[in-house]
Structure 1
C-alpha cells in the first residue's frame, strides 16, 4: 500500500501592502523628501546670496510691506486707466518704484507677529461696529429734534508700534461716528471727533470702544519680546508698563511733573 501524503499547503503570504501600493507609497515619500530638500536648499541659497536693496528695507518684513505698497500703487494705476494690460501693469510698477525711491516716506519699523485668532475677533468686531454705528448715524440724521452734540475727545493709547498705531487709527476712521483729527505720536495721544456726546453714557461708550481697539490691536500684532523702540518717536515706558485702569494717574502725574518743571 502506498503511504497517504499530507495535503499540500499553500504558502501563507503576509498580510500587508501589495507591490503596487508599496511602490506608490515609496514614490510619494521620495517625492515629499525631494521637494522639502529642494525647497530648503533654495531658501538657504537665496538667503546667503540675495541681498535686499536698501530702498526696500532693512529686513524681510519691511521689504514685504514695501512690496505690498508697490503692488497697491500699481493696482491703483491700473484702475485709473480702466484697462488691464501688460503696458499699464508695467507702467504702474515702474511708477510705484519711482515713488518709493525718489519720494521716500519715513520708514516705519515692523515689529511683532500676527495672531490669527485675535485678528479674526478684531475684524468681526469691526464689521459689527460698522453696521451698528451706521444705523445710529442714519437714525440721528432722520429723527426729529435737535442735532447731535459733537466734540473732539482726547485719548491716550499704549500701542508702541507706529505701524500698529496707523492700523488702529484706520479702524477708528472706518467706523461711522468717529474721525481721528490729529495724532501726537510722541505721547501716543489721539484727538478724535466723536459724532454724538450728548450724555455721559455716550462718552463712556467711546472710551470703551477705544480701549477695546487698543487691547485687541496689541494682542493681534504686538509682542514685548520682539519690540524695539523706533528712533522716530519717544515712548514713555512708565506709561506703557501701567495697566489700563491706572493710566489716568500716570497721565496726571506726568502733567504735574511738567508743570513743576515749567515753574
Structure 2
C-alpha cells in the first residue's frame, strides 16, 4: 500500500466516528430512525464534511468504559440537581445572583476543551460565553455566584468535570497533566 493511500485510509478511520455522529445527530433532530432519515443523514454528513472541511480531531484512542459510565451517571445526576437549583432560584423571592468566571484548564487538547465546555453548558445554571483556545481558559456565566468562595467552588467543579472527561477518553499525556500540580484558575 502506498503512503498516500495509507494516509487517506487513516484519515477515513479517524473521521468515521464523527461522520457517524453527524448521521445519528441528523436522525435525532428529525426524531426518526428510519432508512430514509439515515440516507438523508449520510447525504447531509457528506455535504457538511466536504463544504466545512475541518482539520482532523486527534482522538486519544483510549476509552475507559468504567470512567465513561461514571461520567454519564454523574452527569445525569448533575442535570437533575442543576434543574432543581435553577427552578428554586427562579421561584425564590429576591434577586438571583450571577457572575462570570474564568477557568484555566489543565489539559491542552481541543477535543477535551470542547467536551468540558459542552458539559458545563448543558448543566443548568452555567453557560460558556467564551473559550480562549490559546490560553486554555473557559469563561462561564454562572447563576448563584454571591462571593469569591462561590466562584472558586464553581471553578473547582468545572475542573472536576475536566478530570472525569480525561479519565474517560483522554490520552496518557492528558492524564499526566491532571497529576501535575493544579494550575491556579484564572480570575
User: 4+ residue runs of structure 1 moved beyond 3 angstroms?
Assistant: 51-54, 82-86, 239-242
8 Å CA contact retained: 1:156, 1:189: yes
Instruction: Could you tell me which runs of 5 or more consecutive residues in structure 1 were left unpaired when the two chains were aligned.
Output: 1-46, 228-238, 253-263
Greater share of residues in strand: 2
Indicate the residue corresponding to 1:150 in structure 2.
98
Q: CA deviation at 1:129?
A: 1.3
- Give the number of the structure whose alpha-carbon radius of gyration is greater: 1
Structure 2 distance, partners of 1:191, 1:201, is 17
Number of residue pairs matched by the alignment: 183
Structure 1 distance, partners of 2:38, 2:164, is 37
1:82-97 aligned at under 5 Å gives the runs 84=34, 86=36, 88-97=37-46
Instruction: Could you tell me which runs of 5 or more consecutive residues in structure 2 were left unpaired when the two chains were aligned.
Output: none
Q: 1:240 to 1:116 in 2, by over 3 A?
A: closer
Q: CA RMSD in A?
A: 3.2
3-state secondary structure, aligned to 2:184: helix
Q: CA deviation at 1:98?
A: 2.0
- Report the TM-score, using the length of structure 2 for normalisation: 0.81
Indicate the residue corresponding to 1:124 in structure 2.
73
Structure 1 distance, partners of 2:109, 2:12, is 16
- Report the TM-score, using the length of structure 1 for normalisation: 0.59
Indicate the residue corresponding to 1:135 in structure 2.
84
Indicate the residue corresponding to 2:165 in structure 1.
217
8 Å CA contact retained: 1:110, 1:161: no
